[in-house]
Amino acid sequence: MQKNCNKVFVLIGASLVASPLSLVNYFGNLLPYLASYNNAYRNKMYFYVDPLWTASAFCCTFITSMIFTSPIELRFGIRRCILAGDIVLWVSLMSGYFTVKEPMALTLIFGGVQGIAVGILYSLATKILLQTMLNQGGLSTGIMSLGMVFGTFVSIGVAFAVINPGNKEPNLTVDKKVYFSDKNLIDRVPIYFLSAGAIMVFFNVFGTVLLFMGSSNIAQEEDQDETPSVITSINNQMSKLNHNDSTVANSKNSALDQGHFKQYEYGACTYGSHSSIIRVSTNEDQGESSLESKEDRSKFSSPNEKSPGQVIKTAKFWFVWLGYVCSHHTTYLYLNLYKQYGERAIPNDASLTTTGLISNAGMAIVCLLVGIASDKFGIRTMNVIFHSASCLFLCLMVVGLHICPLMYMVLVIIENLAVSPQTMLFTLLAAFEFGKTHCASNMGLVRSGYVLLLLIEPFIVDAMLRTVGWDWTFLTGALTAAIATVSIMSLDLY
Residue ranges and CATH numbers for the domains of the chain are: 2-219+302-493 (1.20.1250.20), 226-282 (no CATH)
Cβ neighbours of residue 225 closer than 8 Å, sequence gap 6 or more? none
pLDDT at residue 315, as a whole number: 81
Would the pLDDT of 162 be above 90?
yes
Please indicate, yes or no, whether the overall pTM of this predicted structure exceeds 0.75.
Answer: no
Residue 137: which pLDDT band, with cuts at 50, 70 and 90?
low
Beta bridge partners of 264: 282
How many distinct helices (H) and strands (E) make up the chain? 20, 4
Q: Please indicate whether residue 384 or residue 271 has the higher confidence score (pLDDT).
A: 384
Task: Give the residue, 315 or 241, on which the prediction is more confident.
Answer: 315
CA within 13 Å, CB half, 317: 21
Q: What is the dihedral of CA 307, 312, 316, 318, to 10 degrees?
A: 140
Average pLDDT over every residue of 443-462: 77
Task: Kindly state the helix (H) or strand (E) to which residue 270 belongs, with its residue range.
Answer: strand 264-271
Interatomic CA distance for residues 136 and 146, integer angstroms:
16
What pLDDT, on the 0 to 100 scale, is given for residue 459?
85
Pure H helices in 244-347: 245-257, 308-311, 315-342
Average pLDDT of the segment spanning 459-477? 89
What is the arithmetic mean of pLDDT over 324-332?
A: 86
**DSSP assignment letter at 174:** E
Helix (H) or strand (E) segment spanning residue 64: helix 52-76
Give the pLDDT confidence score for residue 218 in this predicted structure.
63
Asked if 367 contacts 145 with a C-beta cutoff of 8 angstroms, the reply is yes
Over range 100-126, report the average pLDDT.
90
Collapsing DSSP to helix, strand or coil, 160 comes out as: helix
How many CB atoms sit inside 10 A of residue 370's CB? 28
- What is the enclosing helix (H) or strand (E) of 98? helix 78-99
**What are the two backbone dihedrals, phi and then psi, of residue 164, each rounded to the nearest 5 degrees?**
-130, 55
| Residue 33 identity | Y
